[in-house]
């Protein structure tokens, strides 16, 4: 069974040095958000809860830019905008 | 390119944007398309089935000539499968009629198609800048008069056409929409699977360049509202599944596991045997339809395609709606240019044009479909299994008389809690009255039709 990492390995990315995704208030993830739907709904597993750091770590380099993150956070705590021009994923088939 | 002034700025080089660009270029309007991808199509994903009619109206006979569109296969067979955990019920239609030109629809590799379509537009005189992300609109006295890019450049125009897709930053910037709700969009993931041409043709019983499509309902979506699909391309298969974002949110099922489980389904497994995954992709599909559409025009502003929720998911149509909408938006701009009036009043004829086309009637007629299904969760959870079990018993010979078998099937179906719930939910006063009203209306209609003849 192919993992999501293997799936993402089929893609071309041109990564910007700055992230196009932000979590404005990391405290909310720790204290209020139990389910953390972002860690499950994101098709590229960009959002990962790291227990040792007690926060969501954002792997923006893997973002396939579907935009689901814009609406899945129950606390509206994900700020997602498209990467700057020319950066991000480039599909070959689409 | 700071402070350049155009007649029109089109944001997004997808089907809506490029269609608009072609119409404007033909009319000699000074327009530019801004695309955030490295090349047109870089950010785009489609199943993808492309319907012929709407593109034919923009590029006549696009499938032939010296520079034909990069089409994969013309579709001659469409199948629907209802899957339970280990079985499938097939319904399908195959026709020789679809062998003749113009074909009804084609499978496409979306990126190849978008690159061709954009080049075609350029050859007709359109200007397309790639690698440009638009961040916001420039407004003056309430009128939209340009865009600002992520690099801070400002481009001015009499009108901006937002064809920037499902994550429409522009429709938001114009104040026409808030964020979509998770109920209004579906999330689809897909894999492009490589397989030799001959094997595809043999496996799917295809003659030459014929193609087939599968839409798959039932077990594979784990009770979520959505469906899987399998389309044949020339040397690849497109296999994907999409469900409502709100359902992913609720169930906590990850999209890639859903896709991976689908690939392991005993009915599907042999169809994709020996393939190699050459690409994984994911995209949102606006499925709110008519009820979720934003206002389609403002002073100096028009919205088309996914940005305006122009998708008919029950018929897997979207790119064709986008093309027609892009064309109609451009025609509206041409009229506005001739009048020298880009106010919302002048641009409102866009909405009229959409109403006269197939777009608004189709979206209107399907506006409550998803809600209706969602209000009957049994359709997604229990029904595929019940129907499949009934089919199994019907076709299985086990020594009982047919009479016995049939009555056992009926008994089990109608005694099932889910079926009872479904029947109960249909037997409301409102539905009975609706049926009665419909019958009376129908009778009158029939009478007046008869008179007319």
Q: Which two tokens stand for residue B2?
A: 């700071």
Contact criterion met (CB < 8 Å) for A71 and B179? yes
Q: What is the pLDDT of residue A72?
A: 95
By C-alpha distance, the chain A residue nearest B152 is A84
Range in B298-307, B329-338, B438-447 with the lowest mean pLDDT: B438-447
CA angle, B81 then B84 then B88, to 5°: 40
Whether pLDDT at A30 is above 60: yes
Q: Is B189 on the interface with A (CB under 8 A)?
A: yes
Q: What is the pLDDT of residue B453?
A: 47
- CA dihedral of residues B378, B381, B384, B387 (deg, nearest 10): -50
The span from the CA of A76 to the CA of A72, in Å, is: 8
DSSP classification of residue B111: H
Helix or strand holding residue B41 (H, E): none
> What number is the average pLDDT over the span A47-63?
96
Q: What is the mean pLDDT of chain A?
A: 96
Contact criterion met (CB < 8 Å) for B279 and A41? no
B298 neighbors B344 (Cβ within 8 angstroms) = yes
> What number is the average pLDDT over the span A31-49?
96
By C-alpha distance, the chain B residue nearest A76 is B179
- What's the complex ipTM? 0.96
CA A78 to chain B, closest CA, distance in angstroms equals 12
Contact criterion met (CB < 8 Å) for A70 and B112? no
A77 neighbors A24 (Cβ within 8 angstroms) = yes
Of the candidates A4, A11, A93, the beta carbon closest to that of B256 is on A4
Q: Count of residues for chain B?
A: 453
The span from the CA of A66 to the CA of B45, in Å, is: 9
The span from the CA of B292 to the CA of B116, in Å, is: 31
Confidence of residue B442 (pLDDT cuts 50, 70, 90): confident
Q: What is the pLDDT of residue B425?
A: 84
Q: What is the mean pLDDT of chain B?
A: 95
The span from the CA of B244 to the CA of B187, in Å, is: 6
Sign of the C-alpha dihedral, residues B302, B305, B309, B314?
A: positive
Whether pLDDT at B134 is above 50: yes
Of the candidates A40, A89, A90, the beta carbon closest to that of B252 is on A40
The span from the CA of B81 to the CA of B65, in Å, is: 37
The pLDDT tens digits for B172-222 are 999 999 999 999 999 999 999 999 999 999 999 999 999 999 999 999 999
Q: What is the pLDDT of residue B438?
A: 87
The pLDDT tens digits for B253-275 are 999 999 999 999 999 999 999 99
């Amino acid at each position: 069974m192919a993992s999501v990492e293997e799936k993402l390995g089929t893609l071309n990315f041109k990564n910007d040095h700055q992230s196009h995704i932000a979590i404005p208030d990391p405290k909310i993830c720790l204290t209020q958000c139990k389910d953390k739907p972002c860690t499950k709904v994101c098709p590229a597993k960009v959002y990962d809860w790291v227990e040792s750091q007690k926060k969501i770590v954002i792997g923006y380099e893997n973002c396939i830019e579907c935009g689901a993150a814009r609406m899945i956070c129950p606390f509206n705590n994900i700020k997602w905008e498209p990467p700057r021009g020319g950066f991000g994923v480039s599909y070959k088939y689409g | 390119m700071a402070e350049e002034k155009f007649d029109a700025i089109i944001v997004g080089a997808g089907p809506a944007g490029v269609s608009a660009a072609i119409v404007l270029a033909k009319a000699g309007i000074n327009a530019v398309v801004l695309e955030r991808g490295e090349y047109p199509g870089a950010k785009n994903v489609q199943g993808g089935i492309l319907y012929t009619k709407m593109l034919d109206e923009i590029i006549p006979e696009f499938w032939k000539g010296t520079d034909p569109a990069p089409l994969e296969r013309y579709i001659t067979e469409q199948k629907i499968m209802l899957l339970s955990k280990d079985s499938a019920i097939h319904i399908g239609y195959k026709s020789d009629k679809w062998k003749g030109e113009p074909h009804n629809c084609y499978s496409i590799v979306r990126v190849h198609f978008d690159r061709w379509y954009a080049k075609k537009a350029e050859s007709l005189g359109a200007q397309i800048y790639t690698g440009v992300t638009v961040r916001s609109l420039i407004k003056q006295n309430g009128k939209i008069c340009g865009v600002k890019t992520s690099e801070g450049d400002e481009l001015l125009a009499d009108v901006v056409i937002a064809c920037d897709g499902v994550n429409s930053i522009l429709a938001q910037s114009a104040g026409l929409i808030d964020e979509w709700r998770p109920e209004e969009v579906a999330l689809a993931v897909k894999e492009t699977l490589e397989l030799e041409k001959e094997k595809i043709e043999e496996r799917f019983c295809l003659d030459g360049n014929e193609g087939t499509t599968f839409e798959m309902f039932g077990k594979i979506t784990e009770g979520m509202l959505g469906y899987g699909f399998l389309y044949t391309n020339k040397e690849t298969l497109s296999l994907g599944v999409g469900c409502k974002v709100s359902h992913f949110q609720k169930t906590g099922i990850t999209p890639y596991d859903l896709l991976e489980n689908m690939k392991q389904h005993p009915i599907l497994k042999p169809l994709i045997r020996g393939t190699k995954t050459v690409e994984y992709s994911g995209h949102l599909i606006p499925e709110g339809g008519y009820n979720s559409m934003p206002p389609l025009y403002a002073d100096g502003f028009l919205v088309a395609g996914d940005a305006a929720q122009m998708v008919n998911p029950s018929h897997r149509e979207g790119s064709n709606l986008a093309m027609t909408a892009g064309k109609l938006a451009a025609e509206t701009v041409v009229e506005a240019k001739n009048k020298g009036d880009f106010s919302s009043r002048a641009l409102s004829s866009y909405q009229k044009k959409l109403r006269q086309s197939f777009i608004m009637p189709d979206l209107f007629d399907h506006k409550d479909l998803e809600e209706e299904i969602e209000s009957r969760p049994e359709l997604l959870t229990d029904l595929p299994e019940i129907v499949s079990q009934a089919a199994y018993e019907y076709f299985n010979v086990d020594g009982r008389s047919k009479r016995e078998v049939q009555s056992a099937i009926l008994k089990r179906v109608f005694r099932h809690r889910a079926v009872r719930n479904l029947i109960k939910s249909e037997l409301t006063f409102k539905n009975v009255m609706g049926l009665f009203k419909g019958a009376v209306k129908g009778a009158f209609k029939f009478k007046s039709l008869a008179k007319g003849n």
